[in-house]
Structure 1
Amino acid sequence: MGSLSTKIHAIVDALGNPLHFELTGGEAHDSVQRYKLLQAIEPTMKQVLADRVYDTNAIRALLNEEQAIPVIPTPRNTTR
């Protein structure tokens, strides 16, 4: 059952100023938006600070291609 909520997915700079955002329905899964949103980062971004849910091989590969340093904690149940 869906809800009447909205999720805001945003990229902000170091001062918290919004650079890019997407709105989705509350029932939409975050994993769909994460990769799509990170594709919108500017090439000048050198570090990407993100939550544990962004720690995927695809996202790390994308950031590596963009020559950005991922500052993402590894989930506790992940071994690398």
Structure 2
Amino acid sequence: MTTKILALTDALGNLVRFQLMPGHRFDTVGVAPLIEGVEFDALLADKAFDSNDIIAELNERGAKIVISQHPRRAIPIPLDAEMYKWRHLIENFFCKLKEFKRIAMRACKTDRSFEAMIYLAAAVINSR
């Protein structure tokens, strides 16, 4: 019941790829495989993704960093507030995804069938 869905969406809020993670793992652990091989100009994320490793990876790629930061960060990174407003598209995707009862209730017994339901739900969402 605590499975996390770590998702990467495009600029319109459509699912690009996702990864399932155990509920007790940090979100930052799944970011590297999620963004591997994907070209993008900016990464919009919340405080859970404020990690020096992720920021270093984004700097290497030349991608813009639009991540809300923890207040304990020693050297704050400038945040583009206008671009950060578009993060609601990612939240909207998760809201639409959770309209599907089998996903919201984690009704599937295996990760493979749960992933299949997410792909199916994403296809339905994109077709709307």
TM range, normalised to the smaller chain? 0.7 to 0.9
Q: Which has the larger radius of gyration?
A: 2
Equivalent in the alignment of 2:45: 50
Q: Secondary structure at the match of 2:48?
A: helix
Spell out structure 1 runs of 4+ moving beyond 4 A: none
TM-score by length of 1: 0.77
Tell me which of the two structures has the higher relative contact order, counting C-alpha pairs closer than 8 angstroms and 6 or more residues apart. 1
Once the two structures are superposed, the pairs formed by residues 1-80 of structure 1 within 5 Å of their partners are 4-40=1-37, 42-43=38-39, 45-80=40-75
C-alpha contact (below 8 Å) 1:39/1:62 kept by paired residues? no
What SS does the aligned partner of 2:73 have?
coil
Q: Percent identity?
A: 37
**Runs of 5+ consecutive residues of structure 2 not aligned to the other structure:** 76-128
| Bigger share in strand | 1
TM-score, normalisation: structure 2: 0.52
As a proportion of its length, which structure holds more helix? 2
Structure 1 gap ranges (5+): none
